[in-house]
Structure 1
């Protein structure tokens, strides 16, 4: 895990993009406002009317769409369910395009698993009937929750088989205590701002802004802030942290490009005085040097939040997450993933465990409990802010060492000079027993996988928020003799197509 802002809710309810290691410019605040390739209905030839097709929805694919065909051409069809017959408006097309994209606007023969979408703004049927585009994200909201999970299991299996050439049997587990509707789970949310200063979200793959007055995927504490009533003129983006284990929310404001930051700070201090007592507000000031990290300027309260995580094995740890630092967005995800990683790693006293992309130290703290004072946990994180948080969160834990640097650089050092002391980013002459990694959505990549192979851990625990990148890395590892001992998939993003997985990989 890494420490960078969750850009997901501006245009799509997806897992956080961990930009500081693998930049994804398409998710940055500036680029989300740029027009994407489509989303606006395509006009039919020799007509001013949108191009509408009758399509049969094929299997669900990674990305939240069904695969349909029109005259032999693949059409990625959103807001449908496999087996349905629908009318769909084409949103991206072209005679030379490899595929088209389309949104369902009418269901001719519906699935038994279809329900009325619980979020009106994200409902494609109601949106197009009203002459507007639906809000991006919540792309499974028209499907009953148990079938969402069956589809995710199918997507995971198909993706791994297609990319890695590996056949895996998996089922998808939801979080205990989840609302049966799939709502009210998200503790981290981000919004764009309209020219009139109101909170908004983007339509899928579009620059179109849609004003919002609620966010049904968010935990109830989000609506309680009533941010929809405030004027955010001069702000480009509003990030909201509503911690699962605390009532102290944090609102982060990113200025518009042409905003006077000093004047904006004063106005936002006055504007946010109406927020509930205990709410913190901070301004994220872009640096003059683009290679430096933005300044987090406190307007009221504090610039960090706190989360407490409990394991079913009895341990509990409290974490500080500064400003826009990464944290799992589902309210129960940290505890669920900690238990899953502990079950997968089976850490023993005295072992050496490497925790790569460790963020604020979520897994590191619990792994350090398990290996005890004779063991060693090496918590590797590239983002300086996250490393500072990890040092605070692991303060006094002598068997845990926080190493600030890119995973590739640290792994290279371990492979080349394992005898160096841990303080010099070495292994102190010891061997890594288990390697835990939770990389960005783009995965670890070929170079990192090669270094992991050279390190020769006894076991790999791979935590992933994207089946495609997991499949790419798993395929590379399989070529070097690694196989999956177990893979568990978790539905930590209800009403969206996203999922989390924890795999145990061992040498065949």
Structure 2
């Protein structure tokens, strides 16, 4: 699987009578991680229903889409709005809504309010999983920042993987389903966007061209490379001569810009699991005598290689996060600062806790709306030795 992809969930075995299709009037509770809100049904059902297409504070009719009498929680859709939030808008896409395309979670929410919902999710994960205080300024003051490159939340995705139905129509899948919804025009996609094998990035006053494979990983939001590079440089404040370890390095985007700051004589190691991406990373780091691109699973590479101290570490792991083994290997190299790019707030929160156990505290945190209309959010966290 490529970075950011997830396996489709396997359906659980039925644990009693199905409740699919039943409807309930309900008050909508807080937003939860995953693009839904929490609805608590009173007795006799006494269930939490993770409900899509709702907004906190609304009163809606929830239709159960997954759930049996024996399940701890159910899933549902808000199929009718009885009392609407002031943040509710008409979805711009005709196939966004209950029972339709599963690609977007928040088209029914005004774009600024979408960012507020995402910030609430990040804060909740940090408090619940990382055990941070909810009055910690890094938590309470977190906002999700707009990134240039989209049109009010639309037309930002430079690459979209469509599927076809039995009639040969192009489409996208329903939420948690193999069923295909025909889509003539995906409004978050930049239609007919070229997929070049080189990408040019300008950040922090420098411009570099990066080579990559035809199907290689690259951020899909046009503004992502610049904002992520500049945030990492701001957080790490690299100095000439400092050594750099870039983990899950892809084609070397972050390593290349860090190399500008630390200089040609500095030690730079980029570790990436994909062979083709590693080959391109070595090309993109050409000209730096002590720069190396190593291929292999990050945890395995760190177990056996590059065990000397590094001044700076940057990592951009897949959705499941870095996990404890990698975090501990990073701490063993005693960097003065670590910049962590996270595409999943729950995984980030778990790793924040592990970093704390290894003597590194969270010093700075920013969040960016790189995936408008969806529940996804990108965070960049700075860790320093406590």
Query: Into which bin does the TM-score normalised by the smaller protein fall?
Result: over 0.9
| Matching residue within 309, 334, 337 for 2:225 | 334
Q: Does residue 309 of structure 1 match 2:197?
A: no
TM normalised by structure 1 equals 0.71
The within-5 A match list for 1:181-330 is 182-219=153-190, 222=191, 225=192, 242=193, 249-250=194-195, 305-311=197-203, 313-330=204-221
| Matching residue within 110, 121, 127 for 1:155 | 121
CA contact (8 A) 2:154 2:187 kept: yes
Give the drift of 1:159.
Answer: 0.7
Alpha-carbon separation, structure 1, partners of 2:176 and 2:256: 39
Alpha-carbon separation, structure 1, partners of 2:105 and 2:371: 11
Alpha-carbon separation, structure 2, partners of 1:395 and 1:452: 25
Q: Does residue 141 of structure 1 match 2:107?
A: yes
CA contact (8 A) 2:149 2:221 kept: no
CA, structure 1 residues 489+345, in 2 after alignment: closer, same or farther (shift >3 Å)?
same
Give the drift of 1:314.
Answer: 1.1
CA, structure 1 residues 306+37, in 2 after alignment: closer, same or farther (shift >3 Å)?
farther
CA contact (8 A) 2:265 2:288 kept: no
CA contact (8 A) 2:19 2:69 kept: no
Alpha-carbon separation, structure 2, partners of 1:317 and 1:98: 51
| Matching residue within 387, 391, 395 for 2:278 | 387
CA RMSD of aligned residues (A): 1.9
CA contact (8 A) 1:113 1:143 kept: yes
Give the drift of 1:37.
Answer: 5.6
Q: Deviations over 1:58-103 (max 9, x none)?
A: 0001101101111231110110000000002100111110100000
Matched residue of 1:452: which SS? Answer: helix
Give the drift of 1:480.
Answer: 2.3
Give the drift of 1:171.
Answer: 1.1
The aligned residue for residue 136 of structure 2 is none
The aligned residue for residue 58 of structure 2 is 84
Which structure has the larger Rg over C-alpha atoms? 1
Q: Does residue 492 of structure 1 match 2:370?
A: yes
Q: Deviations over 1:266-294 (max 9, x none)?
A: xxxxxxxxxxxxxxxxxxxxxxxxxxxxx
Alpha-carbon separation, structure 1, partners of 2:91 and 2:18: 27
Alpha-carbon separation, structure 2, partners of 1:137 and 1:177: 19
Alpha-carbon separation, structure 1, partners of 2:169 and 2:118: 34
The within-5 A match list for 1:47-86 is 50-71=21-42, 72-86=46-60
Q: Deviations over 1:309-329 (max 9, x none)?
A: 100x21011112202211111
Q: Where do 4+ consecutive residues of structure 1 move more than 4 Å?
A: 35-38, 42-45
CA, structure 1 residues 120+36, in 2 after alignment: closer, same or farther (shift >3 Å)?
farther
| Matching residue within 347, 351, 355 for 1:469 | 347
Aligned length: 374
TM normalised by structure 2 equals 0.92
Long gaps (5+) in structure 1: 7-15, 18-23, 125-132, 226-241, 243-248, 251-303, 415-425
CA, structure 1 residues 43+477, in 2 after alignment: closer, same or farther (shift >3 Å)?
closer
Give the drift of 1:177.
Answer: 4.6
Matched residue of 1:463: which SS? Answer: strand
Q: Does residue 413 of structure 1 match 2:379?
A: no
| Matching residue within 108, 116, 130 for 2:82 | 108
Matched residue of 2:160: which SS? Answer: strand
Alpha-carbon separation, structure 2, partners of 1:79 and 1:431: 49
Alpha-carbon separation, structure 2, partners of 1:159 and 1:176: 26
Alpha-carbon separation, structure 2, partners of 1:186 and 1:455: 37
CA contact (8 A) 2:249 2:271 kept: yes
CA, structure 1 residues 68+479, in 2 after alignment: closer, same or farther (shift >3 Å)?
same
Q: Deviations over 1:216-236 (max 9, x none)?
A: 0012xx1xx4xxxxxxxxxxx
Give the drift of 1:43.
Answer: 6.8
Matched residue of 1:164: which SS? Answer: coil
